[in-house]
Amino acid sequence: MSSRLRAGLIGCGFYARNHLHAWRDLSDDVELVAVCDRDEQKAGAAAEAFSVPRWYGDAARMMEAEALDFVDIVTTMPSHKSLVLLAASHKVPVIVQKPFAPTWQDCLDMVDVCRNAGVPLMVHENFRFQSPLLEVRRVLEAGTIGDVTWGRINWRTGYDIYAGQPYLATEERFILLDIGVHVLDLARVLLGEVERVFCETQSVKPSIAGEDMATIMLKHHNGAVSVVDCSYATKRDPDPFPEVLLEIEGRRGSLLLSPGLELRVTSEGATTVRSLRTPLLPWTSEPWHVSQESVLNTQRHWVECLKAAREPETSGRDNLKTYALVEAAYESATSHQAARPNS
Ligand code: NAD
Ligand code: 89Y
């Protein structure tokens, strides 16, 4: 492998712009040599805007023609499995956007095929790489609040996500797969692996296909209990989109991440308060900034792991554990009983 990794990107839609900017920021390590979209106009426009030498309307053609060190898949989930398997058949490492796939079996298949082919596979699960959440992780890892006992992690917004991502309105399995994956992933990272899940879902906005609210209670293996709640139908002013808010209690203290990304940490009776807002990057803007910046952090992690031949934090294998929580949440919402995640 040359020191600068040669990358191809598939899917030049709404969110790919952030990936393209992030690859440009990582250009000391990565050379984006080709982009692809089945809508050729989008592929051509992305290539022109980001000075990418070649563009394609067909992923198989791109994989045949290019000698790639990895491929970045930024399409929506129905195409993930075929594109991941295509990359694996060329022995090309692959990073793929969330949600991993529409079904549990598809996720298993991708992990199996890549493992058997010896091909690194990472899911672009970026919320745990958001700068404020990286800091929350550091506080927990330092033991500042002691062993965790309880948590609440929430995402509640009425921001018009359908404008940029119209496909979300037609997803029958909607908020748990779109945002639930992120917030449940955070529950694993911040409070530990999960033993039992109880979930209720609601469909509040008329004229969408799936559930747009989910309230989930988790019992963690270490004894902690958490509540994870997500909503796309919350009328709140100011609307915190796209901030994840949380409170976590431990045996020595607590932490609270509140709107505006203010972090309040109490430890052994003493409290510190600080802002976790980071400056805008040249290509980021409010309100998306915290999400956009996490794309850069996520892609940097992928590159570091690929170069060091290390399994990424959010490898396909790891993401199965997050996806299993989504499946368990849907199962519980249907049965109205607690469900155990697949392991
Ligand atoms: P989009 O529909 O705007 O773009 C997807 C693009 O992929 C389209 O241009 C489409 O033509 C192309 N495409 C689809 N199948 C293809 C194939 N087989 N070959 C080549 N091109 C193909 O979607 P989006 O909003 O950009 O979302 C893409 C993914 O990113 C989704 O999975 C979404 O959930 C995810 N996303 C993640 C975050 C995050 O914070 N991690 C935020 C937004 C979106
Ligand atoms: O699709 C969602 C995601 O993954 O992060 C934010 C989002 O784009 C809209 O809520």
Confidence of residue 235 (pLDDT cuts 50, 70, 90): very high
ipTM of the predicted assembly exceeds 0.95: yes
**Per-residue pLDDT tens over the stretch 217-231:** 999 999 999 999 999
Averaged over 131-146, what is the pLDDT? 98
Closest among 220, 221, 214 to 334, alpha carbons compared: 214
- The bridge status of strand 225-231 relative to strand 213-220 is antiparallel
Q: Is 291 in the pocket of ligand 2 (CB under 6 A)?
A: yes
3-class secondary-structure state, position 2: coil
Which of 183, 291, 293 is the best mutation target for the ligand 2 pocket, counting ligand atoms within 8 Å of the beta carbon and taking the most? 291
Q: Which residues have CB under 8 Å from 275's CB, separation 6+?
A: 260, 261, 262, 263
Confidence of residue 3 (pLDDT cuts 50, 70, 90): confident
- Report whether 10 contacts 60 (CB < 8 A): no
DSSP secondary structure letters along 75-89: S-GGGHHHHHHHHHH
Mean of the per-residue pLDDT values of the chain: 97
Q: Is 37 in the pocket of ligand 2 (CB under 6 A)?
A: no
Q: Is the pLDDT of residue 94 over 90?
A: yes
| Residue percentage of the chain with pLDDT more than 90 | 99
State the pLDDT at residue 343.
Answer: 81
Averaged over 255-275, what is the pLDDT? 97
CA atoms of 130 and 273, how far apart (whole Å): 19
Q: Is the pLDDT of residue 318 over 50?
A: yes
Sketch out the chain's domains with CATH numbers.
5-119 (3.40.50.720), 128-285+321-335 (3.30.360.10)
Q: Is 294 in the pocket of ligand 1 (CB under 6 A)?
A: no
Averaged over 7-11, what is the pLDDT? 99
State the pLDDT at residue 1.
Answer: 46
Which of 74, 95, 284 is the best mutation target for the ligand 1 pocket, counting ligand atoms within 8 Å of the beta carbon and taking the most? 74
